Amino acid sequence: MKMQDLSGKIAVITGASSGIGEATARLLVDEGVHVVLVARRVERLQALAAELGDSATVEGLDVADSAAVAAMFARIKERFGGIDLLFNNAGIGISSTFEDSDPADWKTMIDANLYGVLNCTQAAIPLMRGREGAMISSVSSVGGRFGAATWSVYSATKFAVVGFHDALRKELGEEGIRVSVLEPGAVWSEFGENVSEAIHERRLQLDALQSADVAQALVFAFAQPANVLIQEILMRPVKQIIP
Protein backbone atom coordinates (compact mmCIF):
# COMPACT_ATOMS: atom_id res chain seq x y z
CA MET A 1 0.00 0.00 0.00
CA LYS A 2 1.42 3.37 -0.99
CA MET A 3 1.26 5.98 1.77
CA GLN A 4 2.18 9.65 1.73
CA ASP A 5 5.79 10.59 2.34
CA LEU A 6 5.45 12.84 5.38
CA SER A 7 8.98 14.23 5.24
CA GLY A 8 9.07 18.00 5.56
CA LYS A 9 5.43 18.38 6.57
CA ILE A 10 4.42 20.67 9.42
CA ALA A 11 2.14 19.48 12.23
CA VAL A 12 0.61 21.37 15.14
CA ILE A 13 -0.17 19.15 18.14
CA THR A 14 -2.15 20.47 21.08
CA GLY A 15 -1.95 18.77 24.44
CA ALA A 16 1.56 17.70 23.46
CA SER A 17 3.06 17.70 26.95
CA SER A 18 1.99 14.12 27.75
CA GLY A 19 -0.04 11.10 26.70
CA ILE A 20 -1.44 10.87 23.20
CA GLY A 21 -0.02 14.23 22.15
CA GLU A 22 3.51 13.36 23.23
CA ALA A 23 3.32 9.92 21.60
CA THR A 24 2.04 11.45 18.36
CA ALA A 25 4.86 13.97 18.30
CA ARG A 26 7.42 11.18 18.59
CA LEU A 27 5.87 9.12 15.80
CA LEU A 28 5.53 12.08 13.45
CA VAL A 29 9.13 13.15 13.98
CA ASP A 30 10.17 9.60 13.13
CA GLU A 31 8.33 10.11 9.82
CA GLY A 32 10.22 13.33 9.08
CA VAL A 33 7.56 15.80 10.22
CA HIS A 34 8.37 19.05 12.01
CA VAL A 35 6.07 19.27 15.03
CA VAL A 36 4.84 22.37 16.82
CA LEU A 37 4.26 21.28 20.41
CA VAL A 38 1.42 23.14 22.13
CA ALA A 39 0.35 22.95 25.79
CA ARG A 40 0.21 24.97 28.98
CA ARG A 41 3.05 23.09 30.69
CA VAL A 42 5.99 24.70 28.91
CA GLU A 43 8.64 22.89 30.93
CA ARG A 44 7.27 19.52 29.76
CA LEU A 45 7.24 20.72 26.16
CA GLN A 46 10.79 21.95 26.43
CA ALA A 47 11.96 18.59 27.77
CA LEU A 48 10.25 16.79 24.90
CA ALA A 49 11.63 19.24 22.35
CA ALA A 50 15.13 18.68 23.72
CA GLU A 51 14.73 14.98 22.89
CA LEU A 52 13.27 15.61 19.44
CA GLY A 53 15.88 18.18 18.45
CA ASP A 54 15.50 20.51 15.49
CA SER A 55 12.27 18.77 14.46
CA ALA A 56 10.28 20.41 17.26
CA THR A 57 9.09 23.91 18.12
CA VAL A 58 7.57 24.82 21.49
CA GLU A 59 4.47 27.01 21.92
CA GLY A 60 3.21 27.35 25.48
CA LEU A 61 -0.40 28.50 25.69
CA ASP A 62 -3.96 27.66 26.68
CA VAL A 63 -5.97 26.66 23.59
CA ALA A 64 -9.09 28.20 25.15
CA ASP A 65 -7.44 31.64 24.82
CA SER A 66 -8.51 32.69 21.33
CA ALA A 67 -6.15 35.68 21.15
CA ALA A 68 -3.14 33.56 22.14
CA VAL A 69 -4.12 30.91 19.59
CA ALA A 70 -4.44 33.50 16.81
CA ALA A 71 -1.03 34.95 17.69
CA MET A 72 0.54 31.49 17.68
CA PHE A 73 -0.76 30.64 14.22
CA ALA A 74 0.48 33.99 12.95
CA ARG A 75 3.96 33.06 14.17
CA ILE A 76 3.65 29.65 12.54
CA LYS A 77 2.64 31.21 9.24
CA GLU A 78 5.59 33.61 9.37
CA ARG A 79 8.08 30.83 10.09
CA PHE A 80 6.73 27.90 8.07
CA GLY A 81 4.34 29.44 5.55
CA GLY A 82 1.57 26.98 6.40
CA ILE A 83 0.74 23.69 8.09
CA ASP A 84 -0.18 20.22 6.91
CA LEU A 85 -1.72 18.74 10.05
CA LEU A 86 -3.63 20.14 13.00
CA PHE A 87 -4.08 17.57 15.73
CA ASN A 88 -6.56 18.88 18.30
CA ASN A 89 -5.67 16.63 21.19
CA ALA A 90 -5.87 18.91 24.25
CA GLY A 91 -8.76 18.08 26.54
CA ILE A 92 -9.92 17.36 30.05
CA GLY A 93 -12.55 15.18 31.70
CA ILE A 94 -14.00 15.66 35.18
CA SER A 95 -16.15 12.84 36.52
CA SER A 96 -19.27 13.52 38.60
CA THR A 97 -22.97 12.85 38.58
CA PHE A 98 -24.56 15.76 36.78
CA GLU A 99 -26.76 16.68 39.74
CA ASP A 100 -23.68 17.09 41.93
CA SER A 101 -21.43 18.62 39.30
CA ASP A 102 -19.89 22.08 39.60
CA PRO A 103 -20.71 24.60 36.85
CA ALA A 104 -17.09 25.76 37.05
CA ASP A 105 -16.09 22.27 35.92
CA TRP A 106 -18.58 22.47 33.03
CA LYS A 107 -16.78 25.59 31.82
CA THR A 108 -13.36 24.01 32.23
CA MET A 109 -14.34 21.09 30.02
CA ILE A 110 -16.20 23.17 27.45
CA ASP A 111 -13.30 25.62 27.18
CA ALA A 112 -10.67 22.92 26.64
CA ASN A 113 -12.62 20.27 24.74
CA LEU A 114 -14.74 22.46 22.50
CA TYR A 115 -13.51 26.06 22.40
CA GLY A 116 -9.93 24.83 22.13
CA VAL A 117 -10.87 22.82 19.04
CA LEU A 118 -12.83 25.70 17.54
CA ASN A 119 -10.10 28.28 18.20
CA CYS A 120 -7.28 26.22 16.74
CA THR A 121 -9.26 24.93 13.78
CA GLN A 122 -10.47 28.34 12.66
CA ALA A 123 -6.94 29.75 12.86
CA ALA A 124 -5.43 26.75 11.05
CA ILE A 125 -7.73 26.55 8.02
CA PRO A 126 -6.17 29.45 6.06
CA LEU A 127 -2.70 27.94 6.60
CA MET A 128 -3.78 24.63 5.04
CA ARG A 129 -5.13 25.80 1.72
CA GLY A 130 -3.12 24.62 -1.26
CA ARG A 131 -1.17 22.02 0.75
CA GLU A 132 -1.74 18.54 -0.64
CA GLY A 133 -3.04 16.09 1.94
CA ALA A 134 -3.63 18.71 4.63
CA MET A 135 -5.70 17.35 7.50
CA ILE A 136 -7.51 18.50 10.63
CA SER A 137 -7.89 15.72 13.18
CA SER A 138 -9.34 15.96 16.67
CA VAL A 139 -9.65 13.61 19.59
CA SER A 140 -13.22 12.92 20.57
CA SER A 141 -13.92 9.75 22.56
CA VAL A 142 -16.03 6.63 22.80
CA GLY A 143 -17.85 9.02 25.15
CA GLY A 144 -18.63 11.14 22.11
CA ARG A 145 -20.66 8.28 20.65
CA PHE A 146 -22.12 6.65 23.77
CA GLY A 147 -22.96 8.52 26.97
CA ALA A 148 -21.69 7.16 30.28
CA ALA A 149 -22.92 7.83 33.80
CA THR A 150 -20.86 10.44 35.70
CA TRP A 151 -19.47 11.77 32.40
CA SER A 152 -22.46 13.75 31.13
CA VAL A 153 -20.80 17.11 30.45
CA TYR A 154 -17.60 15.52 29.16
CA SER A 155 -19.68 13.39 26.80
CA ALA A 156 -21.59 16.48 25.68
CA THR A 157 -18.36 18.19 24.65
CA LYS A 158 -17.16 15.12 22.79
CA PHE A 159 -20.49 14.63 21.00
CA ALA A 160 -20.10 18.25 19.91
CA VAL A 161 -16.65 17.56 18.49
CA VAL A 162 -18.04 14.71 16.36
CA GLY A 163 -20.88 16.86 15.02
CA PHE A 164 -18.56 19.78 14.33
CA HIS A 165 -16.20 17.58 12.34
CA ASP A 166 -18.97 16.09 10.23
CA ALA A 167 -20.14 19.56 9.25
CA LEU A 168 -16.60 20.90 8.74
CA ARG A 169 -15.77 17.97 6.47
CA LYS A 170 -18.59 19.06 4.18
CA GLU A 171 -17.35 22.64 4.17
CA LEU A 172 -13.71 21.86 3.39
CA GLY A 173 -13.80 18.65 1.36
CA GLU A 174 -14.01 20.30 -2.04
CA GLU A 175 -10.85 22.26 -1.20
CA GLY A 176 -9.01 19.02 -0.50
CA ILE A 177 -8.66 19.62 3.24
CA ARG A 178 -9.36 16.40 5.10
CA VAL A 179 -11.28 16.38 8.40
CA SER A 180 -10.97 13.33 10.62
CA VAL A 181 -11.92 12.43 14.19
CA LEU A 182 -10.45 9.87 16.60
CA GLU A 183 -12.69 8.24 19.20
CA PRO A 184 -10.56 6.22 21.62
CA GLY A 185 -11.89 4.22 24.53
CA ALA A 186 -9.88 3.53 27.67
CA VAL A 187 -6.30 4.75 27.29
CA TRP A 188 -3.40 4.73 29.72
CA SER A 189 -2.68 8.45 30.09
CA GLU A 190 -2.61 11.17 32.71
CA PHE A 191 -6.28 11.74 31.94
CA GLY A 192 -7.16 8.34 33.32
CA GLU A 193 -4.62 8.33 36.09
CA ASN A 194 -5.77 11.64 37.51
CA VAL A 195 -9.50 10.96 37.69
CA SER A 196 -9.80 8.35 40.44
CA GLU A 197 -8.44 5.05 41.70
CA ALA A 198 -11.54 3.38 40.24
CA ILE A 199 -10.59 4.56 36.76
CA HIS A 200 -7.07 3.28 37.29
CA GLU A 201 -8.42 -0.14 38.22
CA ARG A 202 -10.75 -0.18 35.25
CA ARG A 203 -7.86 0.54 32.89
CA LEU A 204 -6.04 -2.45 34.37
CA GLN A 205 -9.05 -4.73 33.96
CA LEU A 206 -9.58 -3.66 30.35
CA ASP A 207 -5.91 -3.86 29.32
CA ALA A 208 -6.29 -0.27 28.16
CA LEU A 209 -4.81 1.16 25.00
CA GLN A 210 -1.42 2.83 25.14
CA SER A 211 -1.05 6.42 24.00
CA ALA A 212 1.14 5.17 21.16
CA ASP A 213 -1.75 3.01 19.89
CA VAL A 214 -3.89 6.12 19.37
CA ALA A 215 -0.95 8.05 17.94
CA GLN A 216 -0.39 5.29 15.40
CA ALA A 217 -4.01 5.56 14.28
CA LEU A 218 -3.58 9.28 13.72
CA VAL A 219 -0.40 8.81 11.69
CA PHE A 220 -2.11 6.06 9.64
CA ALA A 221 -4.96 8.43 8.74
CA PHE A 222 -2.62 11.31 7.93
CA ALA A 223 -0.33 9.20 5.74
CA GLN A 224 -3.13 8.05 3.43
CA PRO A 225 -2.95 9.35 -0.14
CA ALA A 226 -4.15 12.94 -0.33
CA ASN A 227 -7.48 12.00 -1.90
CA VAL A 228 -8.29 9.47 0.85
CA LEU A 229 -10.15 10.49 4.01
CA ILE A 230 -10.33 8.25 7.06
CA GLN A 231 -13.30 10.13 8.46
CA GLU A 232 -13.62 8.41 11.85
CA ILE A 233 -11.56 5.97 13.85
CA LEU A 234 -13.48 4.43 16.76
CA MET A 235 -11.01 2.34 18.75
CA ARG A 236 -11.05 0.67 22.13
CA PRO A 237 -9.46 -2.17 24.07
CA VAL A 238 -10.89 -5.53 23.05
CA LYS A 239 -12.13 -6.07 26.59
CA GLN A 240 -13.99 -2.74 26.71
CA ILE A 241 -17.53 -3.87 25.98
CA ILE A 242 -19.29 -0.93 27.69
CA PRO A 243 -19.81 1.78 26.60
- Where in the sequence numbering do the catalytic residues fall? 154
Query: For residue 111, with 0-12 CB atoms within 10 Å meaning exposed, 13-18 middle and 19 or more buried, which class applies?
Result: middle
Distance CA(240)–CA(242), nearest Å, equals: 6
Q: 205-227: b or e for each residue (b if 16 or more CB lie within 10 Å)?
A: ebebbebbbbbebbbebbbbeee
Helices 116-128 and 152-172 meet at what angle, rounded to 10?
Answer: 20
Q: Among the residues of 34-151, which ranges form H helices?
A: 42-52, 66-80, 103-110, 116-128
How far is the C-alpha of 187 from the C-alpha of 127, rounded, in Å? 31
- Separation CA 29–CA 221 (nearest Å): 16
Half-sphere exposure of 19 (CA within 13 A, CB side): 21
